[in-house]
Amino acid sequence: MIDNNEEMFPIVDEEGNITGAATRGECHNGSKLLHPVVHLHVFNEKGELYLQKRPEWKDIQPGKWDTAVGGHIDLGESVDIALKREAQEELGISEFTPERLIHYVFESDREKELVFCFKTTYNETISPSEELDGGKFWSIEEIKANLGNNIFTPNFENEFKKLGF
């Protein structure tokens, strides 16, 4: 499997207003074109946080543990529709109630994203797709004990600290 570098993403300003469009390849090549993404933090009733394992074939942060659901908003797609689509595609979750937390700009050496961040509590079966290398629930203490050990994506660590879980 490989990411489709020709997939079209909207280019946005820091409030999410669309200012243009570019391909995935253009957005991830160091251009710093600001493009929108959604993140969903999935908790269970015990307060544990589900993390996905990124597959080795991903172009960004392969093999690292990351936010349960994370994905790009497609050109012409709303934040809410993208969140539901990504949750279904990545974890097989369709019935959930998202709570909007924050939106912020995340910048790495390769890209710049406008992140729309949500959380939900979900106690049904989670079925990670072939897009992922599996996933599992982590206690907050386990996550805190492993911060800075190069097993989580920098974006997840940054967001985890920012949200104060």
Q: Show me where the domains of the chain are located.
A: 8-163
Measured CA to CA, the distance from residue 11 to residue 35 in angstroms comes to 5
Q: Are 74 and 88 spatial neighbours (Cβ–Cβ below 8 Å)?
A: no
pLDDT attached to residue 164: 92
d(CA 102, CA 116): 6
* 106, containing H or E segment: strand 99-107
- For 8-163, give the CATH class: alpha beta
Residue 109 pLDDT grade (very low, low, confident, very high; cuts 50, 70, 90): confident
Mean pLDDT of 82-94: 96
Residue 5 has pLDDT above 80, yes or no: no
pLDDT given for residue 110 in this prediction = 85
pLDDT, residue 91, reads 97
**Contact by Cβ (8 Å): 39, 116:** yes
103: left (phi over 0), alpha (psi -120 to 50) or beta: beta
Smallest CA-to-CA distance from 82 within 93, 72, 91, 92 is with: 72
Write out pLDDT tens, residues 15-73. Answer: 899 999 999 999 989 899 999 999 999 999 999 999 999 999 887 889 999 999 999 99
- Number of Cβ atoms within 10 Å of the Cβ of 39: 26
Question: In the prediction, which pLDDT does 1 show?
Answer: 53
For 6, the token pair is 């020709």
Give the tens place of pLDDT for each residue, 137-164: 999 999 999 999 999 999 899 999 999 9
pLDDT at 58: 83
What distance in Å separates the CA atoms of residue 158 and residue 152, rounded to the nearest whole number? Answer: 10
3-state per-residue secondary structure call for 107-147: ECCCCEEEEEEEEEECCCCCCCCCCCCCEEEECHHHHHHHC
Taking a C-beta distance cutoff of 8 angstroms, is the pair 120, 94 a contact? no
Q: What is the CA radius of gyration of the chain?
A: 15
